[in-house]
Amino acid sequence: MTPAARLQAVIDLLTEIDETPRPADAVMSAYFRNRRYIGSKDRTAVAQMAYAILRRHARLGWWIEWAGYERPTPRARVLAYLLLEENRNAGVVLEMFSGGKFAPARLTEGELAMVGKLESHTMDHPDMPETVRVECPEWAEGPMRASLGDRFGVEMEKLLEAAPLDLRINPLKANQQSAIKALAKAQITAETTRWSPLGLRVKGRPPLGSVDAFKDGLVEIQDEGSQLVALAVAPKPGHQVVDFCAGAGGKTLAVAALMKNKGRVVACDVLDKRLKRAAERFRRAGLHNIEAHPLTSERDPWVKRHKRKFDRVLVDAPCSGTGTWRRNPDARWRQLGPGLEQLLPLQANILDSAARLVKPGGRLIYATCSMLHDENEAQVEAFLQTHHDFIVKPVAEVWAEEEAGTPPPVEGPYLRLTPARHDTDGFFAAVLERRAEESVSEVALEQGEVDPVELGKAIDA
């Protein structure tokens, strides 16, 4: 493809992203799948520019408005990006928007005026508001400032960067050093991660689909922060474990591998199709201790039938996803699922229901990929107010028990990871242990201090 043809492809791709109610990465995959004639180098160039523009959505929009243009269309954003970020001059831009074969159409009068005003400027401007400069949408500013305090600026700036490519080794098939050697055979450079004893960080963005180490199940793609959440589950061989919101199965894989294929892991989700797609990942990893169980809702009758039968229950709750903005920049601006006001009661309901599965002495692990206090610490505190038989197990204690070989990534009771502090996605996890002794309610029932019918209703709720 010529440089001009690549620009038109970027415009077409951004238009599809704007018009399709799906995440940008899914839209990109479909776009290239339907255009197999686009070569690998061209695909990489087009995708990189599209993502770079998505990461600058607010700033480009601010400049386009500053220049007096009508609205930030895909063409306008591409033009502004070329001038402000790539520092192209107006003459070069006019040549690329030539209207020739496969090239973008010639500039309109309005676009020409915008180009004239933006030429010689850079992406920064002293009048640009901080929320625009750090790409924080209006709905998230208050919650993010409340959660991050004086670290709002530094964390938001780190979220502007592209996320690194992390891999998790499959301990059934490899260790970190043998996986590094296997990747090196495919000309892929990797090094061990700082926090996770199972992690590798890869240099660049090599295509992994055709690499033997990936095809043979030695490694899986998983952010280091997500790996640390799986380690916080601390499953043992022979345990009975539930991944209550398994999704695509990333943490399910990690947990099952930590159990050395012994015991049982039940991967649950309300989206049956996602569980079916995850089955291929389980097979590639050589794991046969996983079974999938679709749920109709968080209150599925299956939960009641399996009350207090599991050693570990992981709740990777649906959330705002603010911790993943490095890899999902479009998620800041496009609400493709429930908003925060719907997520908060849903998270509480899921946590309450999943808690019924935990046996005395077992653990409930609540996790999100959010950086918002309301979705994290506040949810745990509210849960503990109504579930007196659960206590917080501090992360440092879990790490000491597991002898992970790496220092605990945080101080304090919870696993709270941020991009600027840990160079991972933003994650939160709380380990909640159910007391082994009888709960206060059970003792009260034996002593005749409560109505058994009312207590039964409460337990079954």
**Cα 277 to Cα 241: distance, rounded to the nearest angstrom:** 20
Tell me which residue of 237, 283, 231, 295 sits closest to 261, measured CA to CA: 237
**307: exposed, middle or buried (C-beta count within 10 Å: 0-12, 13-18, 19+)?**
middle
Catalytic residue among 136, 245, 319, 369: 369
Tell me which residue of 91, 102, 93 sits closest to 38, measured CA to CA: 102
Residue type, position 424, single letter: T
Question: Which residue ranges are tagged as binding site for S-adenosyl-L-methionine?
Answer: 269, 316
**Cα 35 to Cα 41: distance, rounded to the nearest angstrom:** 14
The secondary element (H helix, E strand) that includes residue 411 is none
Q: CB-side exposure of 310: number of CA atoms within 13 Å?
A: 27
> Is residue 305 a contact partner of residue 293, using CB atoms and an 8 Å limit?
no
Secondary structure letter of residue 322 according to DSSP:
G
What's the CA dihedral at 230, 233, 236, 242 to 10 degrees? -90
How are strands ordered across the β-sheet holding 219-221?
A: 190-192, 199-202, 165-169, 219-221
Question: Which residue ranges are tagged as binding site?
Answer: 269, 316
| Residue 268 is among the residues annotated as catalytic for this protein | no
Report angle CA 118, 122, 123 to the nearest 5 degrees. 100
Instruction: Name the residues annotated as catalytic.
Output: 369
